[in-house]
Amino acid sequence: MKSFFITLIFVLLTTILLSQNPPDTLWTNTYGGYNSDRAYSVQQISDGGFIIVGSTSSIGMGSSDFWLLKTNDLGNEEWSQTYGGNHSDIAYSGQETSDNGFIITGYTTITDTTSSDEDILLVKTDINGNEVWSLTYGGSRSDKAYSVQQTNDNGYVITGYVTVSDTISLRKDICLLKFDEYGEEEWTQIYGGYEDDVSYSVQQISDGGFIIVGSTSSFGMGGSDFWLIKTDELGNEEWSQTYGGNDDDVAYSVQQTSDNGFIIAGYTKSYGNSEENIWVIKIDENGYEEWNQTFGGNGHDIAYSVRESTDGGFIIAGNTSFLGGGGYHYDYWIIKTDEDGGEIWDQTFGDYEDDIARSVQETTDGSYIIAGYTNSYGAGNSDCWLICLTSDTESENETIPINSKFLSNYPNPFNPTTKINFEIKEGETGILTIYNIKGQLIESKQFESGQRNYLWDASKQSSGIYLYKLKTESTIETRKMLLLK
C-alpha cells in the first residue's frame, strides 16, 4: 500500500511539472457582415501576413461565395475578394503559390430549369486576389473538393469526393485530381467501394507521392472509419489503412511528420467518453499505428486540423461542446501535445453561441494562428474569427504579476473602454503607459499622488493583449488587459 501511494504521488508531481499554462492571446479579429461568413483555412504567407479562405453571404453575387481575405501580421484586413455565381459557392482550402498568388478550392452550385448540383471549383489568383483562371469539375450530381496543394512541378492536386452511379449503388467515392500550373487536367484517380467514401485532406510528401485522409463506409469495422491512402506521384495507390471501431470515426486532417510518418486527426464515436471525442493517431511511414489519443468530455468534440510543431509535439484545433440554452453549443478548442500525444495545455475560446475552429498553423515566430467562425462575436449571423496565440516559450517565461491593490483595470476583457485604477504614494508622481504586445507605445499620461483612475478608449485599436505600466519614484508595476471586439 505504501508503495502504491509513493507511485501515485510521483505520477501527480510529474504531471504538474510537465503541464504548462496555455499561451496568451496576442490578438484576435472578426471579419464579415450581417449574414453568414465562415473561415475554413488559414496560412501565414511570405510577407508575414495571413490568408484566410472561406465563404461569405454578406458580400458577393450569390447566396454564398468563395471568400479570399488577406491580412497583415496583426490581423488587420488589407483586401478581400469573392468568386462565384448566383447560387451557393463555398471554399474550404487554399494556399499561397510559388508566384505569390493563391490557389483555392471548394464547390460551386450549378443549376438549370429542372435541377441543381454541386461541382468542384478551383480558382487561381494573382498576388492581389484577382482571378487568373478558374475551372469546374464534375458530373450531374454532387462533387466537392475539400483540400488543395501546389505540387513540386508547380501544378495542383485536390481531393474530395465525386458521386458515382452504377447498377449497384449511388455513392460518394474519394477523388484525387491533378492539374498543371495553367489548370489543365493531367490525371484523375478514384478510390472507394460500394458505400460512401470521402477525403478531406491531401499533402504531397517527401517521396513525391501523396497522402490522403478521410472516412470510409466501404471498408473497416464500423459505420465509417478513418481511411489513410498513400499513392505514388501519379496517384496510384501503394497502400491504405483503416482505423476505427464499431461506430462512426471520421478523419479531417493529415500531415507528414519529421520522422516521415503521419499525424491524423478527426473524431471518434467508437472510443472515448462521449458522443464524439477528438481522436489523434500517429502513424509510421508504412501506415502502422504508433499511438493514439482521445480528448473530450461527454458532448461533441471534433478536431478539424492538426500540425506538427517545431518542438516535435502537435497543435490541434477544433471544437468542444457544452450544454446550455436548450441544447449543445460549441467553443473553439485548441490542444497542444508532446511528441507522444500527451496533453501539455489546452484552451477554449467562445461564448454562448457556436464558435468552431477549423484551421491551425504555427507561425514563423513560434506563435499559433487559428481560423474558424463565431456566432458569439462580430457583426452578423456568423463571422470569420482569427486568433493569434503567443508562443509556448513566451507563455512559460511570463513574469508579469496578475494581482495588485495598487494597479488594476475593469472590465477585463473589455470592448472598447476599460477603467484603469491605481494608487500613487503621497509626494510622488506616476507615469501610466500603455503598450501593445509587441512593445509599441500606444499612450502615456502623468498623474499626481492619490487614488487615480483613467478611462482608456481602445476603439481605434485592434483586438488583442495590451500591457499597462505604472512607474513612480518607488515602484514599477505592469499588468495585462485583453481587448476583445
| Amino acid identity at 109 | T
100-104, 421-425, 474-478, range with the lowest pLDDT: 474-478
Tell whether the model's pLDDT for residue 439 goes beyond 80.
no
Q: Give dist(CA 472, CA 479) in Å, integer.
A: 15
Q: Give dist(CA 350, CA 382) in Å, integer.
A: 12
pLDDT at residue number 436: 85
**Residues 6 or more apart whose Cβ sits within 8 Å of residue 51:** 42, 43, 45, 68, 69, 70, 71, 94, 95, 96, 102
Average pLDDT value over all residues in the chain? 90
Tell whether the model's pLDDT for residue 395 goes beyond 90.
no
For residue 29, give the C-alpha cell.
Answer: 479579429
Q: pTM (2 decimals)?
A: 0.82
pLDDT at residue number 21: 82
Q: What are the residue ranges spanned by the domains of the chain?
A: 23-396, 407-483
Tell whether the model's pLDDT for residue 43 goes beyond 90.
yes
* 253 or 11, greater pLDDT: 253
Angle at 230 between CA 228 and CA 233, to 5 degrees: 150
Q: Give dist(CA 40, CA 382) in Å, integer.
A: 13
pLDDT at residue number 10: 38
Tell whether the model's pLDDT for residue 12 goes beyond 50.
no
pLDDT at residue number 166: 80
Distance of CA 205 to the CA centre of its chain: 21
Domain 407-483 fold: Immunoglobulin-like (2.60.40)
81-90, 196-205, 316-325, range with the lowest pLDDT: 316-325
Length reported for the chain: 485
Tell whether the model's pLDDT for residue 49 goes beyond 80.
yes
Secondary structure element (H or E) that encloses residue 8, with its range: helix 2-18
pLDDT bracket for residue 482 (50, 70, 90): confident
Strands 277-283 and 314-324 turn out to be unpaired
**Residues 6 or more apart whose Cβ sits within 8 Å of residue 58:** 32, 33, 34, 35, 36, 37, 380
pLDDT at residue number 114: 62
* 12 or 101, greater pLDDT: 101
**Residues 6 or more apart whose Cβ sits within 8 Å of residue 347:** 22, 23, 333, 334, 389
pLDDT at residue number 227: 98
State what percent of residues in the chain have pLDDT above 70.
91
- Burial of residue 89, with CB atoms counted within 10 A of its CB: 0-12 exposed, 13-18 middle, 19 or more buried: buried
Q: What is the dihedral of CA 237, 238, 244, 249, to 10 degrees?
A: -30
Task: Count how many Cα atoms sit within 13 Å of the Cα of residue 56 in the half-sphere of its side chain.
Answer: 23
pLDDT bracket for residue 2 (50, 70, 90): very low
Which residues on neighbouring strands pair with residue 387, listed in sequence order? 28, 370
Angle at 152 between CA 147 and CA 153, to 5 degrees: 110
| Amino acid identity at 193 | G
Closest-CA residue to 303 (of 354, 253, 339, 350): 253
| Amino acid identity at 403 | N
pLDDT at residue number 328: 79
pLDDT bracket for residue 354 (50, 70, 90): very high
Q: Give dist(CA 431, CA 452) in Å, integer.
A: 12
**40, 385 Cβ separation under 8 angstroms:** no
Q: What is the dihedral of CA 284, 287, 290, 295, to 10 degrees?
A: 120
Report how far apart the first and last C-alpha atoms of the chain are (Å, whole number).
55
For range 315-339, the mean pLDDT = 88
Phi, psi of 396 (to 5 degrees): -65, -35
Which residues on neighbouring strands pair with residue 424, listed in sequence order? 450
For residue 159, give the C-alpha cell.
Answer: 481531393
pLDDT at residue number 72: 94
List, for residues 285-312, the tens digit of each pLDDT value: 999 999 999 999 888 999 999 999 999 9
**262, 228 Cβ separation under 8 angstroms:** yes
Closest-CA residue to 231 (of 274, 181, 178, 278): 178
Domain 23-396 fold: Neuraminidase (2.120.10)
pLDDT bracket for residue 269 (50, 70, 90): very high
For range 48-68, the mean pLDDT = 95
Q: Return the residue matching grid coordinates 485522409.
A: 213
Q: Give dist(CA 388, CA 405) in Å, integer.
A: 30
Q: Which stretches of 269-381 are assigned E, i.e. beta strand?
A: 277-283, 289-295, 302-308, 314-324, 327-337, 343-349, 355-362, 368-374
Strand order of the sheet with strand 197-204? 197-204, 210-216, 225-231, 237-243
Q: Give dist(CA 52, CA 71) in Å, integer.
A: 8
Q: Give dist(CA 321, CA 328) in Å, integer.
A: 6
Angle at 70 between CA 393 and CA 332, to 5 degrees: 50
